[in-house]
Chains A and B, each alone.
Chain A
Amino acid sequence: MNEKEWPLFEVFVRSRSGLEHKHVGSVHAADARMAIEHARDVYTRRQEGVSIWVVRSSDITASDPAEADAFFEPARDKVYRHPTFYSIPDEVKNL
């Protein structure tokens, strides 16, 4: 079994217009065109989608989960970015 494997593509499906594309899994294909056809057959047999994106898995750069704590730390102490941080008297309306 020494042949070259078809490259891996990550698949993103928009389930209906108005919603964002969402990652659903991956497929192997010789090229992007074929990956879209495979993704249709594998992930949308019951009309789960109106649009498909594929991207070569090797082209994805991801943040490192081991560094997640430090990486997302800057947002942790900025509670003032949330509306509930501010106390406004009840009698003030529409705020």
Chain B
Amino acid sequence: MYTQGLDSPGREALHASSPDTAALEARFQARVDADEKIEPKDWMPEGYRQTLIRQISQHAHSEVVGMLPEGNWITRAPTLRRKAVLIAKVQDEGGHGMYLYSAAETLGISRDQMMAQLLSGAAKYSSIFNYPTPTWADVGAIGWLVDGAAIMNQIPICRCSYGPYARAMVRICREESFHQRQGFEIMMTLARGTPEQRRMAQDALNRWWWPALMMFGPSDAESRHTAQSMRWKIKRFTNDELRQQFVDITVPQARFLGLEIPDPHLRWDEASQHYVFGPIDWAEFQQVLKGNGPCNRERLEARRRAYEQGRWVREAALAHAEKQRQRAAQAA
């Protein structure tokens, strides 16, 4: 995961440009239009750089914070197989965060700056990770729905105009597919289990369905910067297009499981060949984004604690490296 279409160009994108800049911008846009990739040292408009820094770092933060809800179940996974799988999945998410921080750093922001933005609460991350995971079925629902929505969001970014982001995304997408399949397998096991297990699966679907739809970000009418991101080929589809695609492929999967999507308005529309779904509670979405979701405080607290408790390790490793360097210099 997990961009959320929260990306917005900053004010720097709007300032008047000099004739020189105008020519550079025209050349830049021509390269993007010709599907050429933009690489780190190439000239790029400041707005493009800032939009990417914001989007890639938010995406990285989401991967890292995203380890927490599932990490909650590592010590209590029901079997050794499930536990090994869950550890591998959570480790992958950490790796995704690292690929993305590394891609963002090529744009001139440091890892420390990004970390500071996350820990101070200034940076956003995907709203989905501010929901709790009270039962084992949540691990299944997250893999199936959250990673499923993430894949839908991320596949188009593999063709993003910025080379390092596109390459990181290719790597990530290759790894996401196992995440979704292991989640679906958990749901399948529960759905075919005892009545309690079936209830647990349904309950998890009830709680994750709407937050998963919100992962695609505000509706197209609300997201003002989609057009610019599309012109720059950072974005290829609108939030609503991706959300619709997700609903269309997920509803039949729920049917297969014998579970019910918690939406009384949901119906198949023969004319458009799409599912029509009910209204999304955007007030809830805004609240979670603002920091008032069920777990926002807990998640940031966990990241801050990890950062503080790791401080002595980072310092000791640097001191050790410095000592080794001096010894080697003396011996030479």
Contacts and interface: CB of A to CB of B under 8 A. Distances in A.
Nearest to B43: A66
A29 to B, nearest CB: 8
A45 B91 contact: yes
Nearest to B99: A25
A25 B103 contact: yes
Nearest to B38: A65
Interface residues of B, number: 32
Given A27-B102, A45-B91, A3 B321 contact: no
Contact of B99 (A28, A42, A62, A65): A42
B41 A1 contact: no
Interface stretch (B111-119, B133-141, B183-191): B111-119
B60 interface: no
Contact of B324 (A1, A3, A25, A31): A31
Interface in B41-98: 41-43, 88, 91-92, 95, 98
A4 B318 contact: yes
Interface residues on A, range: 20 to 34
A3 B314 contact: yes
A69 to B, nearest CB: 11
Nearest to A11: B102
A19 B211 CA distance: 45
Nearest to A31: B321
A65 B42 contact: yes
B41 A65 contact: yes
B311 interface: yes
Interface string A29-60: 01100100000011001100000000000000
B112 A1 contact: yes
B318 A6 contact: yes
Q: Most chain-B Cβ atoms within 10 A of its Cβ — which of A25, A31, A62?
A: A25
Contacts of B105: 8, 26
A67 to B, nearest CB: 11
Q: Most chain-A Cβ atoms within 10 A of its Cβ — which of B105, B311, B321?
A: B321
Nearest to B39: A65
Contacts of A73: none
Contacts of A3: 112, 311, 314-315
A5 B317 contact: no
Contact of A5 (B42, B43, B110): B110
Interface string B171-182: 000010000000
Interface string A64-90: 111000000000000000000000000
Interface string B286-318: 000000000000000000000000010011011
Contacts of A25: 98-99, 102-103, 164, 167-168
Q: Lowest 5 CB-CB distances: which A-B pairs, in order?
A: A30-B317, A31-B321, A30-B321, A26-B102, A25-B102
Given A8-B111, A26-B102, 7 more contacts: A1-B115, A30-B317, A30-B318, A31-B325, A34-B321, A42-B95, A46-B175
Interface of B: 39, 41-43, 88, 91-92, 95, 98-99, 102-103, 105, 110-112, 115-116, 119, 164, 167-168, 175, 311, 314-315, 317-318, 320-321, 324-325
14 contacts: A1-B112, A1-B115, A1-B116, A8-B111, A25-B98, A25-B102, A25-B167, A26-B102, A31-B324, A41-B95, A42-B98, A45-B95, A62-B41, A66-B43
